[in-house]
Amino acid sequence: MENKRELPRITCIIPAYNEEKRLGKCLESLKKQSYPQEILEIIVVDDDSRDRTVQIAESFGARVVRNGEHNIERGKSIGVQHASGAFTLLLDADNSLPETDWLLNAVTALLDNPEAVGAQAAWFNYSRDDYLANRYCALFGINDPFAFFLKKRDKLTWYEKEWVIEGTLLASREKYFLVKFDAKHLPTVGSQGFLISRELLFSTNYKPYLFHMDMNLELVKRGKDVFVIMRESITHDHCRTLGELLKKISRNFNLFLLQKEMRSYRWETSVPERVFALISMLTVVRPTVESIRGYLYLRDPAWFLHPVICFFVPMMVGYLYTKWLFAKLLRR
């Protein structure tokens, strides 16, 4: 284990808005880390919450700064500007670190691989006691089935134990994978707990909004293209019901359309790839096969939400995109 004096200071940035139900679990997981607490700074960027978010943050000793723009990417950017650590952990209020050595393992991997951009977990944490829809997301390693079929997911399923998705596997270590990405095939790395050096983060266009995928795309294009994917999981309290999951997918797609002109990251896929993905999802044959494969590995009925979600999401996204196109034409 690294000597305490040799370990770098870390600033954890957590944007939050009305997160009194989930923030406590997130902060508690940070306080339970084996990483020395005296070199772990926690900043909660509050977006004018109307509940007990600020009081909960302060009760855990977190520093609270104000956002006020009701924009999570703006909150991340504000947090970065207040950070003092040599490394920055970007964490959401609905995340928590399930293992006490999570931070120590991530920092150690980055120190051992100075060419690496950052570190994140390979899986979403799975709990049989969790809500059905949340278990589905954890088992398949996704928040959106399009990421699965267009090969843009950055998390493994629970039946995948080696790195089998996008990127070139450079090394498979006991505690992490070392993966190289290119700009065209960059998956959605950087979400749900991402540790990166202050130096690299500050070299990107993180102001006034910090989009984690845009940040990493910028770095990859500059040749900073190696990432540590830890053999760890991260808890994501994403949704409780199927309706809530579909609502969040709809919200995220609408946000992407609204922010499209601001973004540099795109899912670089060909027309045949998109058509094949749509056919695979709407015919539900492939999703059903994947559900059976997962169920044979781990007996949980949550696997079988996959065909249902894969059928409804393309229709929902198609409707939202058509609606957006018509609105854009009317504004001309």
Domains of the chain: 7-94 (3.90.550.10), 97-331 (no CATH)
Tell me, what's the pLDDT at 1? 43
Tell me, what's the pLDDT at 219? 98
Tell me, what's the pLDDT at 328? 84
Closest CA to 35 of 120, 99, 129: 99
As to burial, measured by CB atoms within 10 angstroms (0-12 exposed, 13-18 middle, 19+ buried), residue 248 is middle
Tell me, what's the pLDDT at 5? 46
User: To 10 degrees, what angle do helices 242-258 and 132-140 make?
Assistant: 60
String of b and e for 164-197 (b: at least 16 CB within 10 Å)? ebbbeeeeeeeebbbbebebebbbbbbbbbbbbb
Q: What is the mean pLDDT of each run of 10 residues along the chain (332 residues)?
A: 70 98 98 97 98 98 96 97 97 97 98 97 97 97 95 96 96 98 94 95 96 97 98 95 94 91 90 94 96 98 97 95 90 79
Tell me, what's the pLDDT at 4? 46
Tell me, what's the pLDDT at 3? 47
- CA–CA distance from 268 to each of 132, 184, 185, 193, 260 (Å)? 31, 6, 7, 24, 14
Tell me, what's the pLDDT at 270? 92
Tell me, what's the pLDDT at 330? 86
Q: Is the pTM for the entire model greater than 0.85?
A: yes
Tell me, what's the pLDDT at 331? 82
Distance, in Å, from the CA atom of 90 to the CA atom of 42, rounded to the nearest integer, reads 10
Q: What is the largest CA-CA distance in the chain?
A: 63
Identity of the amino acid at 145: P
